[in-house]
Structure formats: structure tokens, C-alpha cells
Amino acid sequence: MNRTVDVLVVGAGPAGLAAATRLAAAGAGRVEVLEREPAAGGVPRHCARPGFGADARGRPLDGPGHARRAVREALRAGAVVRTGASATGWAGPLALDVTSPAGLERIGARAVVLATGARERPRSARLLPGTRPAGVLTKGELQRTVALFGGRKRNAGREYVGRRAVVVGGDPVARSAVRTLRSAGVEVAAVVTELPYAAVSFGSVPLLTGTVVTELLGRGRPTGVTVRGRDGRASVLRCDTVVLTGDWIPDHELARARGLPLAPGTRGPVTDGAFRTAAPGVFAAGNLLHGGEPAAGPAAEGGAGAAALREAGR
């Protein structure tokens, strides 16, 4: 099936939904958002903690609340939000091939906004040797697992998450991972960071600075990790779960397929002050450009919608 929209937004996270809301409210015509996940809202919908602003009555919002509000605002403005729809490649300068439960489509547009976000590098990309046991997760995978299956008390006897974890990283994302693990009933054995100091406090959790994980031990689930300290000595931390945080990489597959130049530092597409990429009519915003920023930043960059609106000639 071939069809055309005015503006096609790829990604229904904070940046994509904010762009769609602004565009639709400004009368840009048919604004359609594609989201490959089964629900819209992006990473915040898995962050069941406060810190995502406040609602109209001033009450603090958690991540799922923030995501629901962003979806409601986009729909109220007139945007179409489609879930389970994956843009698989380009079919022209401003056309994408899309796979969804409805089948295969080719969607053309006057402007395309890429808001595909970023992810943490997994174990394989970090070149951590080991047998890739089941208990090695990124922070995003941990959040999704706990959100979908709950913690140990809810799933007694089922090892969706383990009993004792090591967290790799020393920034606020690592601290959030510690909180998520504790909420799931998991003991945190240590936080390990190669930096000489941590950017945040981890309270009573042991913090090993200037330390790197050199090997994952065990099969099926981890039995521990080998770490090397700043003095060069190796030791073993016993655990059955390893959470890898930080080290962001943009989900830039569509940008690369379109041949867009990538910034050497972030590996996201190069944009100007109006979020235009090197390809006419193609814009980019949010964590696709700069990694794992809190939701407020990518949402603000939904202002890419204003540039796309001008490009659409409305």
C-alpha cells in the first residue's frame, strides 16, 4: 500500500510526541507518528519514579504518567500515533517503507522527523568477554523487565531479575539502576566505574572507582565478574546479575541508511539550529542527537516540528 502524509515522525518518545503535538496543533495537515514498540511514550513509560514534571494540578509525575500525558496531547492536537509500526528503510528522498500488523506500506511525506532516540551499548559492543549469560542487562532492559514482570516478591521462583547485582557506571543513570534493583528486591553488591570518582552518591552501596570489569563469569546466569582496580590487581565480585549503564549510542540506522553525515562525538546525525539534517526535508531531534538526556530535553527539542512545519509549506 502506498500513501502520503504531510509530516512523518519516526519515534514516539518525548521528542517525537512533542514534535507531532506542535505540528498538528499548528495545522500542518496529516501528522503521523510511527512507533515500533507496542505502546507509545518512549523510555519514560518504564521509569516508575517521580522526576518527570508535574500535572495540571501541580502533582508530581512519574515516567508512565509523563508518557501518557504526552500521548494524550499528541492525539488531542490531531496527530495519528501508530504503535507496532517499524520504518525499515527509505523508498525515496522523503518516503519510508513501513512494516506493521496491517502489512507492508510505503509512506511518502513532505517532511520527515527522525526521533528514534538512543540506547546503551550492550555487552557485545563493550567487548566484555564471557558466555553472555541471561542475567546481563542494560539499564533499559532492566527497567523493561521490572516494569513487565515485577520484582522478586511478585515472581517468586522465576529469575526475571536475580538476587545480587553489580552495576557498571558512575552517573545518575547508574544510581537509577540501583534504585530499580532495590525496588525489585535485588541486593546491589557494588557499583563499578572506571572513572576516578562518581558523579553522584550511591549511599550505602560499595563504590569501586578506577575499576573496570574485565570478564563475566558463569553460564546460564552469571556467578560473578572479574574486575581490575587502579593498582592493576584483579578480584572477583560474586553476583548473578550485571547491569551495564551509560555509554550511549544513538539509534541512527535510518540516518545512516539515508547517508546523513554523523557527528564524530555523538554519532548522531549532524543538524543545524533548526534541526535540519543534510538531506532536504529530513529533520532530527531528541536523544538521537546526543544520547541519554532526561525526558525534558528531548521534549523541548520537539521544536524540530516548527522547522518541519515550514518545510511542509504550511
Residue 52 contacts residue 46 (beta carbons within 8 Å): no
Confidence class for position 183, pLDDT limits 50, 70, 90: confident
Query: Model-level pTM?
Result: 0.82
For residue 104, what is its C-alpha cell? 507492508
Residues 6+ apart with CB under 8 A from 67: 40, 41, 42, 44, 45
Mean pLDDT taken over the chain: 86
Q: In whole angstroms, what is the distance from residue 245 CA to residue 241 CA?
A: 13
- What percentage of the chain carries pLDDT values higher than 70? 88
**DSSP secondary-structure letter at 273?**
T
Question: 122 — phi, psi (to 5°)?
Answer: -80, 180
Q: Which of 36-45, 208-217, 304-313 has the highest mean pLDDT?
A: 208-217
Q: Which of 105-109, 225-229, 305-309 has the lowest mean pLDDT?
A: 305-309
130-180 pLDDT, tens digit each: 876 688 999 888 988 887 777 655 545 556 788 999 999 988 888 889 989
**DSSP secondary-structure letter at 132?**
-
Confidence class for position 307, pLDDT limits 50, 70, 90: low
- DSSP conformation letters of 42-92: -GGGG--SEEEEE-TTS-EEEHHHHHHHHHHHHHHHT-EEEES-EEEEEEE
Burial class (CB in 10 A: 0-12, 13-18, 19+), 92: exposed
Residues 6+ apart with CB under 8 A from 4: 107, 108, 109
CB atoms within 10 A of CB 206: 12
Q: In whole angstroms, what is the distance from residue 14 CA to residue 301 CA?
A: 9
Q: In whole angstroms, what is the distance from residue 182 CA to residue 286 CA?
A: 30
For residue 303, what is its C-alpha cell? 521544536
Question: 192 — phi, psi (to 5°)?
Answer: -115, 125
Q: In whole angstroms, what is the distance from residue 138 CA to residue 108 CA?
A: 35
In order of their start, the domains of the chain are: 2-119+248-311 (3.50.50.60), 122-244 (3.50.50.60)
Confidence class for position 311, pLDDT limits 50, 70, 90: low
Confidence class for position 209, pLDDT limits 50, 70, 90: very high
